[in-house]
Amino acid sequence: MSHTLLVTSSPRGTDSLSTRFATEIAEGIQTRSGGPLTVRDLTANPPPHITPAYIQGRITSPEDRTPEQVEAVKVAQDLVDELKLADVMVLGSGMINFGPPSQLKAWFDHVTWPRVTFGYGETGPKGLLTGKKVYLVTAAGGVFSEGAWAPFDFQTNYLLHLLGFIGLTDVEVVRVEGTVLGPDAAKAAVANTETAIKALLAKAA
């Protein structure tokens, strides 16, 4: 029985394909594992952008933190604890101006924590959150997995880097793309993603 964490971040609400398919994966995995599912909706409850209170608070001894630092560090600690508890994470991101939504960047700014989720050794940085499976669902109106626009995908590659930096290297990517290239292209993109998820869940069973 595994614990699944679903993190969604698209501001598109019910129109979000990244949220729709990430939720489908998370619920499918939970049904198969019989374990709990925790949902972190970063649009409904966006983490604050990091402030001096957080930057200083996380390197200050707990007994010496100001009230503002205590609160800032608690936000980060809650998010990290949630992530540590999960055996499987499903992360949904819809492209905004070639990158992930700002609330997802803020989430990563909180959970990317020196000596907590990553450290430095003789060979350089080392992620500390190991042994977890991640499903990354990214959505984009254009096609960024290949072709002329591939160099401008600052969403999927960036998120893979951040995940790997904190030790989450077992990542399976599901792309939903080309949805603004006309009705037929949008239908095909959704159908292709549905097929991919069915295969993914069958393999995860």
Going by the annotation, the residues of the binding site for FMN are: 10, 16-18
SS (H, E, C) the chain: CCCEEEEECCCCHHHCHHHHHHHHHHHHHHHHHCCCEEEEECCCCCCCCCCHHHHHHCCCCHHHCCHHHHHHHHHHHHHHHHHHHCCEEEEEEECECCECCHHHHHHHHHHCCECCCEEEECCEEEECCCCCEEEEEEEECCCCCCCCCHHHCCCHHHHHHHHHHCCCCEEEEEEEECCCCCHHHHHHHHHHHHHHHHHHHHHHC
Q: Which residues are annotated as a binding site?
A: 10, 16-18
